[in-house]
């Protein structure tokens, strides 16, 4: 067993991915539509930019591994009705938004946003542009499923200003694809990737998943051979979370077919070795990018940030999210829409903002969010600078977290300094574990803990 595999085994434990802090399980239904309306009215700094997120929940077929809020359907009228409702929701939020605010980031996720027909992609873009002012230099990204995707879909996205694309590859082994009901030959993905390059998407990401049924080091190595030959700008490599008690369709995956723990650790080692050897930088949280990528540059310049869309260069933005289950964010508030599609549509049609739950952050929450985000983005922490920014005695306030650091240092995950600590290259693989040291919610009584995926 290699040294890295030993560390992966040691630090493999349930933990958050920190797309927010506090994490979504701590949102509560005591936060209401009225609370979100009040926040929208109060948090209207005209100089503060916006990031818009639109959730399209529909897919043509069900991928058995999926953990997203999605609806597999062949009835396209559901999507047309959904767009009508999105327009009503956007009307309400736009009416509460200062007209001088500019959109610097736009992302469509799902489900499968490219489930929409090309003309409806144009329709949705027009809906947004008529209600919000999108900066000419805005980062505009869309997730895409290569299956059922035509070149015209990508043409419609480019016409609307989209400059980033994330392609769901997951795994190229046919046996694995059949086991998760997502069959997409390499030739199909290559064609879509070629269209995207031809049409001028500035950045293309490929999603991969490890831990799927029948995956082995040999089979996934062949997948890496192919995707590295395509040379996308970024990779996001997610660990499959088998949570059939939350996602009942995952029961369609035979647990006996899942790779054992030792194999999962070997797969993590393989990814680290192969992507690193190919020149990709491990930003952290299983995200890799070419050295000249703006995410890598932002990390070096300490301007990288993290939110519900993952790593981003757009820190000073409020997120306005539209669609079922989507999560909005201001400096002090998280607000999540109804997850149930029917309830979401009924509430919007009734003239309501469809908030199901949310959270107003305390000062302590905001401080710890800043601390955890600095670890995950800057890969270092200066105690004195942080203490000065938040007016606290760092060593007293964070004594519990500091007590965990010597062991991390002994294992080579961080380097302790006179002023704080730095995350090592090895430690980038274990960012969740390092951040967890400063998560006050994880130190609550065990009975109160939500269930998280494992960190390795």
Domain ranges for the chain: 20-360, 363-440
Average pLDDT value for residue range 15-39: 94
Strand partners, 312: 305
* pLDDT given at position 8: 86
Decide if 125 contacts 164 (C-beta within 8 A): no
Give the model confidence (pLDDT) of 47-79 as tens digits: 999 999 999 999 999 999 998 889 999 999 999
Using the predicted structure, report yes or no on whether residue 454 has a pLDDT greater than 90: no
* pLDDT given at position 448: 57
* pLDDT given at position 294: 93
* pLDDT given at position 314: 86
Give the model confidence (pLDDT) of 428-447 as tens digits: 999 999 999 999 999 875 55
Using the predicted structure, report yes or no on whether residue 337 has a pLDDT greater than 60: yes
Give the model confidence (pLDDT) of 102-116 as tens digits: 999 999 999 999 999
Using the predicted structure, report yes or no on whether residue 303 has a pLDDT greater than 60: yes
* pLDDT given at position 446: 56
Average pLDDT value for residue range 366-392: 96
Size (the chain), residues: 456
Using the predicted structure, report yes or no on whether residue 417 has a pLDDT greater than 80: yes
Beta strands in 116-248, from DSSP E residues, in sequence order = 133-144, 164-170, 203-210, 234-239
Average pLDDT value for residue range 43-50: 96
Give the model confidence (pLDDT) of 216-269 as tens digits: 999 999 999 999 999 999 999 999 988 888 888 998 999 999 999 999 999 999
User: What span, in angstroms and rounded, lies between the C-alpha atoms of 260 and 219?
Assistant: 15
pLDDT band at 370 (very low <50, low <70, confident <90, very high): very high
pLDDT band at 315 (very low <50, low <70, confident <90, very high): confident
Edge-to-edge strand list for the sheet holding 133-144: 281-284, 287-289, 234-239, 203-210, 164-170, 133-144, 102-110, 49-56, 317-322, 327-329, 333-337, 355-360
* pLDDT given at position 449: 62
Decide if 375 contacts 434 (C-beta within 8 A): yes
pLDDT band at 322 (very low <50, low <70, confident <90, very high): very high
For tokens 């802090």, name the residue: 21
User: What span, in angstroms and rounded, lies between the C-alpha atoms of 102 and 7?
Assistant: 45
* pLDDT given at position 5: 85
Using the predicted structure, report yes or no on whether residue 185 has a pLDDT greater than 70: yes
CATH topology of domain 20-360: TIM Barrel (3.20.20)
Cβ-based neighbours of 150, under 8 Å, separated by 6 or more: 118
% of the chain at pLDDT higher than 70 = 97
* 449 backbone φψ class: left, alpha, beta (φ>0; ψ -120 to 50): beta
Q: Would you state the CATH architecture of domain 363-440?
A: Orthogonal Bundle (1.10)
> Which range, of 149-153, 163-167, 388-392, 441-445, averages the lowest pLDDT?
441-445
* DSSP 3-state of 146: coil
Q: Is residue 125 within a helix (H) or strand (E), and if so which, with residue range? A: helix 118-131
What's the chain's average pLDDT? 94
Q: What angle do CA 279, 222, 189 make, to 5 degrees?
A: 85
Using the predicted structure, report yes or no on whether residue 365 has a pLDDT greater than 70: yes
């Amino acid at each position: 067993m290699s040294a890295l595999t030993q560390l992966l085994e040691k630090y493999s434990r349930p933990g958050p991915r920190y797309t927010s802090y506090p994490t979504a399980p701590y949102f509560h239904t005591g936060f209401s539509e009225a609370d979100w309306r009040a926040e929208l009215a109060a948090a209207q700094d005209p100089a503060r930019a916006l990031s818009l997120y639109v959730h399209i929940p529909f897919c043509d077929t069900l991928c058995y591994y999926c953990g997203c809020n999605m609806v597999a359907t062949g009835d396209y009228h559901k999507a047309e009705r959904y767009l009508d409702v999105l327009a009503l929701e956007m009307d309400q939020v736009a009416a509460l938004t200062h007209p001088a605010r500019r959109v610097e980031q736009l992302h469509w996720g799902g489900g499968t946003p490219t489930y929409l027909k090309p003309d409806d992609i144009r329709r949705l873009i027009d809906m947004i542009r008529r209600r919000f002012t999108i900066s000419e230099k805005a980062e505009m990204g869309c997730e895409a499923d290569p299956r059922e995707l035509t070149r015209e879909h990508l043409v419609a996205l480019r016409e609307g200003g989209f400059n980033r694309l994330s392609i769901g590859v997951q795994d190229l082994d046919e046996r694995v694809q059949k086991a998760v009901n997502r069959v997409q030959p390499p030739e199909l993905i290559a064609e879509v990737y070629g269209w995207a390059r031809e049409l001028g998407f500035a950045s293309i990401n490929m999603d991969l998943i490890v831990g799927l049924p029948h995956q082995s080091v040999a089979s996934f190595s062949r997948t890496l051979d192919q995707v590295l030959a395509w040379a996308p700008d970024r990779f996001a490599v997610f660990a499959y979370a088998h949570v059939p008690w939350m996602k009942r369709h995952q029961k369609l995956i035979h647990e006996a077919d899942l790779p054992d723990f030792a194999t999962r650790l070997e797969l993590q080692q393989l990814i680290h070795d192969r992507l690193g050897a190919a020149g990709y930088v491990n930003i952290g949280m299983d995200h890799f990018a070419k050295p000249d990528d703006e995410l890598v540059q932002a990390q070096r310049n300490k301007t990288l940030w993290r939110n519900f869309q993952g790593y981003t260069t757009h820190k000073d933005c409020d997120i306005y999210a539209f669609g079922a289950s989507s999560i909005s964010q201001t400096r002090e508030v998280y607000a999540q829409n109804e997850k149930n599609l029917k309830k979401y549509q009924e509430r919007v049609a009734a003239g309501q903002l469809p908030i199901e739950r949310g959270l107003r952050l305390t000062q302590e929450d905001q401080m710890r969010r800043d601390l955890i985000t600095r670890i995950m983005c800057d890969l270092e922490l200066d105690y004195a600078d942080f203490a000065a920014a938040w007016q606290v005695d760092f060593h007293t306030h964070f004594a519990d977290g500091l007590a965990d650091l010597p062991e991390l240092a002994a294992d080579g995950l961080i380097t302790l300094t006179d002023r704080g600590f730095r995350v090592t290259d090895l430690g980038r693989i274990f960012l969740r574990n390092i951040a967890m040291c400063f998560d006050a919610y994880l130190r609550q009584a065990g009975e109160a803990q939500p269930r998280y995926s494992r960190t390795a």
